[in-house]
Structure 1
Amino acid sequence: MDILEHITAVQREVTRTGETATVRMRRTYQGTPDEVWDALTDPARMARWFSPVTGELKVGGSFQIQGNAGGEILECEPPQRYKVTFGGPTSLLEVRLTPGTGDTTDFELEHSMEGPPAPGGAGALYVGPGWDGAIAGLALYLDGDLPEDADPVEMANSPEVVEYNEACIKAWIEAIRASGTTTDKDLDEAIAISTAQYVPENPPEN
């Protein structure tokens, strides 16, 4: 895994409107929108690069990610976009796919949180590094770089991914500071909590 390549492949943005903080991430994948959509929504394929997902996967249905959040499926327009709640009714996740140059797909993830766990844009540190891991996992899967017996849970706890998480946290710190959406105090508190979760024994420098 080329850590620098995966870090720089993602555009990260943090915005805030009132009490709602929004994380946006963009990346280009190899493959058509149909191909990327199938990898994003087929439970058998999601288990290869993300995590097992169960539920009634259609508009009006619900989903549950093993060991993680669940939610309700609000909108779905294959192969262009879907929108779901994620962990609660005021936490909204939307994924959008558009055709890129040649056989590529431009991917955009938007996660909006009303009253996030950390004030202002600092809340991005609670979700951003986790989405970074998923976005990188999807890239490895689409590029054929994951072994057939790959276990996403084991991968998430590997030293290489922990090193990647540290780089992601640093990237999010830069994005949050550039956004001007939080205070230094709140950002420092969010850094400590995010580091304990994603890089438990190796905190990044501010």
Structure 2
Amino acid sequence: MSYVLGQINAAHREINSYPVSSGEGRSLLIRRSYDAAIEDVWDACTHPSRISRWLAPVRGDFRVGGAFEVEGNASGRVLRCERPRLLKVTWDYGPVTATEVEVRLSGDSRGGTVFELRHASSAELVAELVRTEGLAGAVRNGAGWDLVLLGLDLFLHDDLDRAAWRDTPQVREFTLHSYRAWGDASRAAWGVSADDMATVVESAVRHVARSPEGGGR
């Protein structure tokens, strides 16, 4: 099995109902394991100097209640921080697009770490995104987070800067497979026919194939 397919198959993906602070919501969830100790994974996710190597530069107040900003992506506030198991933040793309991201870590039997990321939005926001973007929005969002978790894996094993791998052919291939994997998860969650979801996914795949940057968050 190729490295790319191994990374795709390493993750469990699902979309389901999940409450947010404002009430009823919907979320995407990714669960996978890393061959690294839980403290190392926690530090990679909470120290600004390390986050910048696999995600993006981040600045702000990283205490509970503090505000932060991820360069070129999102801003938010720290809701919970329970070392080394739980980190929960708001993940805001603007004044009307507040969402929540929760990361849970647990040890596995081999000394590695089970990493679970959940990105949740209000039911109203999800309905609006589906209305304006269709289910392709859910596919792209999931693929974006897949790329983030791939970057974390590369960083934990090789200490690579994200600029060294972001535009490689392997990342482009990974993105194409990720769209298809999230298409399967979206179809199961939304009750869409296989033919309709295939149309959504293949449209997204053609966009990535044309893009010099290969898609992603």
TM-score, normalising length: structure 1 = 0.82
Identity of aligned residues (%): 33
Which residue is 1:133 aligned to? 147
1:55 to 2:60 alignment: yes
1:107 to 2:112 alignment: no
Distance change in 2, residues 1:17/1:121 (3 Å): farther
CA distance in structure 1 between the partners assigned to 2:83 and 2:135 by the alignment:
30
Q: Is the 8 A contact 1:118 1:190 kept in 2?
A: no
CA distance in structure 2 between the partners assigned to 1:8 and 1:154 by the alignment:
23
**How many residues get paired?**
198
CA distance in structure 1 between the partners assigned to 2:137 and 2:115 by the alignment:
22
Distance change in 2, residues 1:59/1:158 (3 Å): same
1:164 to 2:169 alignment: no
Question: What amino acid is aligned across from residue 12 of structure 1 in structure 2?
Answer: R
The secondary structure found in structure 1 opposite 2:15 is strand
Question: What amino acid is aligned across from residue 5 of structure 2 in structure 1?
Answer: L
CA deviations over 1:52-106 (Å, ceiling 9, x no partner): 1111111111111111111111111110111111115641100000111131111
Which of the residues 22, 29, 36 maps onto 1:31?
36
Distance change in 2, residues 1:138/1:10 (3 Å): same
CA RMSD of aligned residues (A): 2.9
TM-score, normalising length: structure 2 = 0.78
Which residue is 1:98 aligned to? 106
Question: What amino acid is aligned across from residue 13 of structure 2 in structure 1?
Answer: R
The secondary structure found in structure 2 opposite 1:143 is helix
Q: Is the 8 A contact 1:163 1:199 kept in 2?
A: no
CA distance in structure 2 between the partners assigned to 1:201 and 1:17 by the alignment:
33
Offset at residue 158 of structure 1 (A): 2.8
Distance change in 2, residues 1:193/1:3 (3 Å): closer
Deviates more, 1:181-190 or 1:163-172: 181-190
Distance change in 2, residues 1:17/1:104 (3 Å): closer
Unaligned runs of 5+ in 2: none
Q: Is the 8 A contact 1:64 1:70 kept in 2?
A: yes
Offset at residue 179 of structure 1 (A): 2.1
Query: How do 1:1-206 and structure 2 match up within 5 A?
Result: 2-16=3-17, 20-87=25-92, 90-114=98-122, 115-116=125-126, 117-119=129-131, 123-144=137-158, 146-147=159-160, 150=161, 152-153=162-163, 155-180=165-190, 192=203, 196=207, 198-201=208-211
CA distance in structure 2 between the partners assigned to 1:112 and 1:153 by the alignment:
28
Q: Is the 8 A contact 1:51 1:153 kept in 2?
A: no
Distance change in 2, residues 1:83/1:182 (3 Å): farther
Offset at residue 153 of structure 1 (A): 4.1
